[in-house]
Structure 1
Amino acid sequence: MSVDPDLTGAAGTALPVALDAAGGDHGAPPNVEGAVQAARAGVSVLLVGDQVRLHAELGRHEGSASLPLEVVHADDVIGMDEHATDVRSRAQASINVCTRLVREGRASAAVSMGHSGATMASALLTLGRLKGVDRPAILTHLPARGGFTTMLDVGANADVRAVYLAQWAQLATVYLRVLEGREQPTVGLLSIGEEDHKGSALVLETHALLRALHGRGINFHGNIEGRDIFLGTTDIVVTDGFTGNVCLKLAEGEAKVMFGWVRDAIQSSVRGKLGGLLVRPALRGLADRMDPSTYGASILIGVRGLAFIGHGSADARAVKNALLRAARAHEAGLIPRLQAALDAGPVAQPGA
């Protein structure tokens, strides 16, 4: 079976991935196109949404009838401007159908480019938490020197406790070990200074807890500052969801502004335009590294099942890569391996 070059190591899986094909800013078209691309790379996909519209969209893609794609009807979708709590009363919403398919063992993972809050709520309500986890976190990858830096939480929990961050450090360590082959990933605690005594009360408490857990399932580097995220100082960065989300949006915004500056500089003169022709291949490669669609979606780590959350503006490439990443996580047995690590301890138990 051939492997898609965007995510080396992804391949088919016995169970299909459930895709919220109605979710996102652009609805079915990029979701279906991405699913077709993933299916051609060997991943089976359940397209969840309005069956009439999805079949019509599939008909636009030549050869899709022979691919491992199946439509599962859902007559409701939670819009981007609606409340996440709506998942409680709208059982037939596409994201709820996706997470139920995972719970029932009919799908390996749920992937959505739709309402992130609704996806988190549905995953929690339907799948529950892994034993030993107080709160799940959104784990994402940010481009950094030498590759990428893994950061969590980037938006699931604005108000946190030190024990949550310690649990997330352990979950992220297992995640990188299982999916990225990093045997002893380093963990950095985001703070306003490298010194142990700097930071908020939360940072100081978390630092002491992570220091005590160093060598016991966590390879704690110490405090890091914002600049270290992109320098790749540590493999993992843990922080609260409020700070993490600000960092993520700041990085995405700054990348767009910087490329705008480069484009303006190149187009400002004849010499610049000539130079632009020479550097175009390098700039294209740089843009690709910084494109969120390269990683596809972020995992909601800590729930008792695989759930991935993507950008509402995701294009087909992002959808495809999210599906490939989800399939690879299932094939690697990520959920049972996370639970095994938590059962082994020694991170504090929920409510401690």
Structure 2
Amino acid sequence: MAKNITIAVDAMGGDHAPDMVIEGIAQARTFFPGTQFLVFGDEARIKPLLDKQPDLTAASTLVHTSDVVTSDMKPSQALRKGRQSSMGLAIQAVKDGTADVAISAGNTGALMALAKFLLRTMPGIDRPALISPLPTLRGESVMLDLGANVECDSNNLVQFGIMGAAYVRTVLGLSNPTVALLNVGVEDLKGKDSIKAAADVLRASKHLPLDFVGFVEGNHIATGEVDVVVTDGFTGNVALKTAEGTARLVTDLLGRAFRSSMSTKLGYLLARHGLRSLRDHMDPNNHNGGVFLGLNGLVMKSHGGANAHGFASAVTSAIDMAQNDLIRLISEDLQRIVDDEAAAGAA
């Protein structure tokens, strides 16, 4: 039987907090009724919301703090002033072992800085990476890094591939996910030396629970041809923002086209079910929740503009990671790389 999980919640992070946060964890708990919550934030604002959710109240411990990490606070400021904030205390709960995972929809840079400072990186991991699910033609894929590391060497990319595959095994339920490095071409001779070196390591490892398929280009991200797309944080963030902007462009252009005449309005009536399906598939609330992988603890980042459904989606993903012991899986896979390299050196 899956163990019950305790979630540390930054109730003050996000554009629509704390209302969205409390409603979101209430929705998530309907799917995982054994989940417990440590809720950090302004008691005067949060308690009336919890009082409307008796079942959630019974499963929650409210910890008051008046300190909040604001959306414009720099990471360095968060490190100096945010330790007693709702965000900082949620991460501290993971460090102390009173929570299995922390979640916040607040300031991404501040969350990353506090998480790295408080939890530190795992043995064998040089830098943590931000990973998130993306909608594709075949369902969902993931990409990392999405902005935590602007520059990466080959070791970083190998570690990202291992962590991304472990994430997919726990959250998407794929036992042997396909992994590829984002590159300027699919040929082995193309790309920077760091990318080619990372490919050599991943290709040579025979005992990782993943299928390394080489390189993919940017136009393959949305096709779902691979489950894990690995890149540096600069490229990944640009690719992510480009994809989000393109999705908004397509949605807006479709809306304009269907409103342009009576005949197109009639066409919308005939196509509305398919368009609603497209909208739901592209809705970021249905794919919400980035994770900082590579730390000695799990920290989930929700979109700042997420609604309650989106926050609930992030919480359920966090529960999956904790129940499947994602950090242990990453540690085991990192050791496989070490063993393979030692065996190759001894041969």
**Of residues 208, 216, 219 in structure 1, which corresponds to 2:211?**
219
Q: Which residue of 2 aligns with 1:94?
A: 86
Q: Does 1:34 align with 2:11?
A: no
Q: Which amino acid aligns with 1:164?
A: N
Per-residue CA deviations over 1:254-273 (Å, capped at 9, x if unaligned) read 11110111111111111211
Higher helix share: 2
State the alpha-carbon separation in 1 of the partners of residues 315 and 53 from structure 2.
20
Q: Does 1:188 align with 2:180?
A: yes
Q: Contact conserved, 1:214 with 1:220, CA < 8 A, in 2?
A: no
Q: Which residue of 2 aligns with 1:169?
A: 161
Q: Could you tell me the TM-score, scaled by structure 2's length?
A: 0.91
Q: Which residue of 2 aligns with 1:143?
A: 135
Q: Which residue of 2 aligns with 1:71?
A: 62
Q: Contact conserved, 2:133 with 2:289, CA < 8 A, in 1?
A: no
**Of residues 258, 269, 279 in structure 2, which corresponds to 1:277?**
269
Q: Contact conserved, 2:177 with 2:209, CA < 8 A, in 1?
A: no
| Count of residues paired in the alignment | 338
Q: Which residue of 2 aligns with 1:8?
A: none
Q: Which residue of 2 aligns with 1:293?
A: 285
Distance 1:217-1:331 versus aligned 2 partners, 3 A rule: closer
Q: Which residue of 1 aligns with 2:245?
A: 253
Q: Which amino acid aligns with 1:89?
A: R
Q: Which amino acid aligns with 2:27?
A: Q
Indicate the SS of the match to 2:292: strand
Q: Contact conserved, 1:173 with 1:185, CA < 8 A, in 2?
A: yes
Unaligned runs of 5+ in 2: 343-347
State the alpha-carbon separation in 2 of the partners of residues 158 and 143 from structure 1.
24
Q: Does 1:82 align with 2:73?
A: yes
Which moved further from structure 2: 77-86 or 36-45? 36-45
Cα deviation, residue 65, structure 1: 6.0
Cα deviation, residue 200, structure 1: 2.5
Q: Which amino acid aligns with 2:23?
A: E
Cα deviation, residue 188, structure 1: 0.9
State the alpha-carbon separation in 1 of the partners of residues 2 and 314 from structure 2.
14
Q: Which residue of 1 aligns with 2:201?
A: 209
Distance 1:293-1:182 versus aligned 2 partners, 3 A rule: same
Q: Contact conserved, 2:208 with 2:336, CA < 8 A, in 1?
A: no
Q: Contact conserved, 2:26 with 2:56, CA < 8 A, in 1?
A: no
Distance 1:48-1:136 versus aligned 2 partners, 3 A rule: same
Indicate the SS of the match to 1:345: helix
Per-residue CA deviations over 1:146-198 (Å, capped at 9, x if unaligned) read 11121100111001111001011111122222332322211111111111111
Q: Does 1:333 align with 2:325?
A: yes
Q: Does 1:15 align with 2:9?
A: no
Q: Could you tell me the TM-score, scaled by structure 1's length?
A: 0.90
State the alpha-carbon separation in 2 of the partners of residues 300 and 13 from structure 1.
22
Q: Contact conserved, 1:113 with 1:311, CA < 8 A, in 2?
A: yes
Indicate the SS of the match to 1:287: helix
Distance 1:114-1:308 versus aligned 2 partners, 3 A rule: same
Q: Contact conserved, 2:43 with 2:65, CA < 8 A, in 1?
A: yes
State the alpha-carbon separation in 2 of the partners of residues 65 and 283 from structure 1.
35
Indicate the SS of the match to 2:4: coil
Unaligned runs of 5+ in 1: 1-10
Q: Which residue of 2 aligns with 1:129?
A: 121
Q: Which amino acid aligns with 1:57?
A: L
Identical aligned residues as a percent: 35
State the alpha-carbon separation in 1 of the partners of residues 244 and 131 from structure 2.
16
